[in-house]
Structure 1
């Protein structure tokens, strides 16, 4: 069980390396291509013989050379298959050309195309043999959990399955991978994003609860919590640790005192570090829907968030080190328009899902919701908020409406934590940020 910043993927990679050192073979999987690539990259760094299955278009550049197709193309024997394919295409063109001229008989044409088919069949068989050989000599095969059912692995045997981001895989997908070996190790965090389940009936029937959670509940002795995190200072860690992990997490000394000033960023006395909550209550910045877009946005709050981002950038922080996380996709689109110039320079604006497993030096979280009825929608799933609050390495700014949020215990606790830390700010008290010129 790996909470944010505790290095669960690194730990899983080390486990795989130890298994390989014992002469064991591992199938390393995750629910998403990005997570598979991240794990594969760490395995390659450890000098393991890795092959990454999957379409080349879905494989990241960092591990592209370790993809199956890339390894086939780099093989000395690949030229033989290419020669047969080229010969087949050349013969087909010649046959077509001569047939149009009526220079060959029907029987000769049939015989020629039979030769074309033989050449292509031999090439396919040769390539299949190359792929089988590459997979067979790999110490670790990396694939998505769904991809573990590939025909390429039909005869493959493994001692272990290592499943990363296991809490994001629905049971049927997780089991595709887990059934490929007699032993398995799973890494994930049930306090972060759950599996994506579209059908509410399936969710109600339990499909949204991962195999990882079921296993941890049925056999708690098989679960280990990583308790030291290496991402954020202790003040940023305090609230997530208390709310989601029983207060058991601690910041490693190497990060416990992290601040933006360590990077040479100008100080801002009106924005306490390492985190603060900017309260928009009473501003009348109500959530809305634009046109036919079913997603919610908050244009006036988006304007304030944009100003806060520019305030950060004006202090000397590179755009590529700042992330903006929005609770709703319509707000993401609004902010990308408002901050288009900075997006082109590396500023990242995304939904909570887009930031899972990611981190930035500074993060601005826009909670969006503001309405008289105190409706918070899927912010009720505090696992999503946990992800948003744990992406920053040095500075976190949360923007939200306390009047909408405070009736809900989790957000009331967040506001209380901000107040206790001297990190509570009102948007009323600071309508004219001094860092107005982000080019300065």
Structure 2
């Protein structure tokens, strides 16, 4: 299996010693390695994960270059300069940019990305022709999210730094405000004139920084836990090392120490006791817990080496359990703690989920009366990584003192010059929380910072010493805010490095843990020493993302084959589940009505997933209406569950841009969605209002085609419809799901159990699966056809239950 082609050398770095090259005799395999579930040998663990990550990092850089070369266009409107951010070298501008759908959405910057932009237009002046290219940019929160203009609200906002001086021919540099050529408002505070005028629209192209911070953070965590450290303060804690040893080899974990969180937080034993003074809303939520939820809470009395795994099925309330646990802990100070508060670090490996978690907890605490808690969300950390800070170098650049100045000044300027209020039901970002804290204390402890900002507002150019003072004072401000923060929601990568020195949590929770690569999950283990690390998620739904599957796909994509890909796709939590090391399971589905839980339970949970509703509650009026809708749609009688499989005659897959779509499927689904949106009896299950629809499909080309159709519909329809690839659908749900499986010749990659589980567990009330019978077979060596494992069961189940319609 391990046929060699080339030897490799490993450079072993650490925080406190020079990198030393050590030759490694092991060769890179030429065949995919079967993933290990336990690692008795730490060298094997390091070799697989380090080499696999290095290859993945190389492939990510290649993919990023290819993405940059595509030069996908985006529609932008330069609004006006951002006051107070002009330096001797550049002026900062605010741009609004339309958030695209389809393929372009994959290439659109997030709040954590590093990138530059190129303006397509050429500026012609009497001094000559000028191009605005390679402009340093960052995505910031849209300051106009609350103004009464839907198009503007839905835009992304970029801060773009434009040089002030430009070279004119062979002559000297001259100061010119070139971006002013495209200015669309008199100032950023002129909210009355903020509009997306098509005549003033500019086309921009984004170029991403190829710096792979995620992989740097992963490898730093691995090195931290496996390399000898000469300086004690640079080494991980004994708690971290014991946890890491257990995580490597669940079958022989070594020394086991048991943590009892109920001793640390007595209110966990019985939150209903009045002496604990737990807010009524939190007590009510605790009382609503089912037996699985309570068992998971009781399991916190015996946590081996402070690591606790909670695996939960779709709709089991995993995040709700996390939220209630955090609120219970925050309800009463620990009698064993010397601190006045109990900081909690909540990690999710997806930026949108960071916002969702922080906002959800913020609203819960507001409603429960826990309003003194400081809850913040954080998408990124201000790492200043030079190009020299690459693999096999020390971590000095990454671990350097962060500079918050740019983000703080941007937040301050927008807050001062745009008369919009932050949404009171959303958690503030770290920058917003710091600005609000400064506003509260600028007359006392931050008088020095106030004087500097006043001078800047008056147009004074600060000298070097003043800038150093500004940076120091802003750093003190952020340190003060983090020292008083109770709950931070962020990504593992943002939590890596210097942040761990400023925020010391008593509890680390990592939600959607099976989505994260093993080394991503090691980041909180390596750099934090809490009372407990809690990992939650569903190993039957999500897997970590790795660039390629096999040699052929790697070669087609121009990437390096990664023989460690299957190991990287196996998360820590998946390994734990495979060897029976998961501490607790949540197997009651509260999302799905109308028996929609039955099929995924049968296929992926050994029949153990049950419904959270009794027979009388499975079919509320809106769900019963959709039962009749499905029966009429498919011409079938009395469906036993609200799931219909549809075969469309004449449908045929088409390949486009290395992906697929099915025009006949597309047209039929679009027609049905339009009709359902117009149906006045189609109601939602999540409160009052009209029903929502999710169109899910495995292929990006199919998604682009659906996006193109949906964009032509009225806004009120678009607000009720979401179009996602199956791989992006995790964490989303809708009243009705249309699942277009596209293929008509073979199953493609949809016979994967995790992927298919996600696909058929998103619906609350009804599901329509559009598929072709050829997906029930796959070809093996020699051209022989055999039954696909899971897709054939979906088809056979529909046939046996009379829920197959041929149209």
User: By how many angstroms is 1:302 displaced?
Assistant: 1.0
Contact 2:659 2:701 in 1 (8 A): yes
Give, in whole Å, the separation in 2 of the partners of 1:43 and 1:36: 11
Q: Select 1:198's aligned residue among 541, 547, 553.
A: 547
Give, in whole Å, the separation in 2 of the partners of 1:245 and 1:62: 41
SS across alignment from 1:383: helix
Q: Select 1:51's aligned residue among 376, 396, 405.
A: 376
User: By how many angstroms is 1:197 displaced?
Assistant: 0.9
Q: Select 2:592's aligned residue among 232, 247, 260.
A: 232
Match of 2:477? 130
Q: Select 1:369's aligned residue among 739, 743, 746.
A: 743
Report which structure shows greater RCO (CA 8 Å, sep ≥6): 1
Q: Given the superposition, is the C-alpha separation of residues 22 and 376 from structure 1 closer, same or farther in structure 2, using an over 3 Å criterion?
A: farther
Q: Given the superposition, is the C-alpha separation of residues 401 and 92 from structure 1 closer, same or farther in structure 2, using an over 3 Å criterion?
A: same
User: By how many angstroms is 1:92 displaced?
Assistant: 4.5
The yes-or-no answer on 1:28 pairing with 2:339 is: no
RMSD: 2.8
User: By how many angstroms is 1:246 displaced?
Assistant: 1.2
Match of 1:278? 646
Q: Select 1:162's aligned residue among 509, 518, 533.
A: 509
Q: Given the superposition, is the C-alpha separation of residues 299 and 3 from structure 1 closer, same or farther in structure 2, using an over 3 Å criterion?
A: same
User: By how many angstroms is 1:209 displaced?
Assistant: 0.6
The yes-or-no answer on 1:149 pairing with 2:496 is: yes
Deviations 1:195-229, CA, capped at 9 Å, x for gaps:
111144165350011111123334x3542110111
Match of 2:761? 390
Give, in whole Å, the separation in 2 of the partners of 1:338 and 1:6: 34
Please, what TM-score do these two structures have when normalized by structure 1? 0.82
Match of 2:538? 189
More moved, 414-423 vs 387-396: 414-423
User: By how many angstroms is 1:411 displaced?
Assistant: 1.4
Contact 1:166 1:212 in 2 (8 A): yes
Q: Given the superposition, is the C-alpha separation of residues 118 and 384 from structure 1 closer, same or farther in structure 2, using an over 3 Å criterion?
A: same
Q: Given the superposition, is the C-alpha separation of residues 137 and 202 from structure 1 closer, same or farther in structure 2, using an over 3 Å criterion?
A: farther
SS across alignment from 2:312: coil
Deviations 1:164-195, CA, capped at 9 Å, x for gaps:
00000011211112331342111111111211
Contact 2:696 2:738 in 1 (8 A): yes
Contact 1:232 1:394 in 2 (8 A): yes
More moved, 189-198 vs 313-322: 313-322
Q: Given the superposition, is the C-alpha separation of residues 152 and 249 from structure 1 closer, same or farther in structure 2, using an over 3 Å criterion?
A: same
User: By how many angstroms is 1:9 displaced?
Assistant: 0.6
Match of 1:341? 712
SS across alignment from 1:5: coil
SS across alignment from 1:277: strand
Q: Given the superposition, is the C-alpha separation of residues 61 and 277 from structure 1 closer, same or farther in structure 2, using an over 3 Å criterion?
A: farther
More moved, 261-270 vs 405-414: 261-270
Mapping of residues 269-308 of structure 1, within 5 Å = 269-271=631-633, 272=639, 274-280=642-648, 283-290=649-656, 293-308=657-672
The yes-or-no answer on 1:6 pairing with 2:348 is: no
Contact 1:232 1:393 in 2 (8 A): yes
Contact 1:366 1:399 in 2 (8 A): yes
Q: Select 2:429's aligned residue among 67, 76, 93.
A: 67
User: By how many angstroms is 1:247 displaced?
Assistant: 0.8
User: By how many angstroms is 1:267 displaced?
Assistant: 4.3
Q: Select 1:85's aligned residue among 453, 456, 466.
A: 453
User: By how many angstroms is 1:418 displaced?
Assistant: 1.7
User: By how many angstroms is 1:234 displaced?
Assistant: 5.0
Give, in whole Å, the separation in 2 of the partners of 1:10 and 1:333: 33
Deviations 1:63-84, CA, capped at 9 Å, x for gaps:
7542111111112235742540
The yes-or-no answer on 1:420 pairing with 2:774 is: no
Give, in whole Å, the separation in 2 of the partners of 1:245 and 1:187: 17
Match of 2:607? 247
The yes-or-no answer on 1:257 pairing with 2:604 is: no
User: By how many angstroms is 1:326 displaced?
Assistant: 0.9
Match of 1:323? 694
Give, in whole Å, the separation in 1 of the partners of 2:576 and 2:522: 12
Please, what TM-score do these two structures have when normalized by structure 2? 0.46
Mapping of residues 340-359 of structure 1, within 5 Å = 340-342=711-713, 344=715, 345=717, 346=719, 347-359=721-733
Q: Given the superposition, is the C-alpha separation of residues 287 and 227 from structure 1 closer, same or farther in structure 2, using an over 3 Å criterion?
A: same
- Structure having the higher strand fraction is 2
Contact 1:260 1:394 in 2 (8 A): no
User: By how many angstroms is 1:244 displaced?
Assistant: 0.8
Q: Given the superposition, is the C-alpha separation of residues 262 and 417 from structure 1 closer, same or farther in structure 2, using an over 3 Å criterion?
A: closer
SS across alignment from 2:767: strand
Q: Given the superposition, is the C-alpha separation of residues 64 and 413 from structure 1 closer, same or farther in structure 2, using an over 3 Å criterion?
A: same
Contact 1:19 1:25 in 2 (8 A): no
- Structure having the higher helix fraction is 1
SS across alignment from 1:379: coil
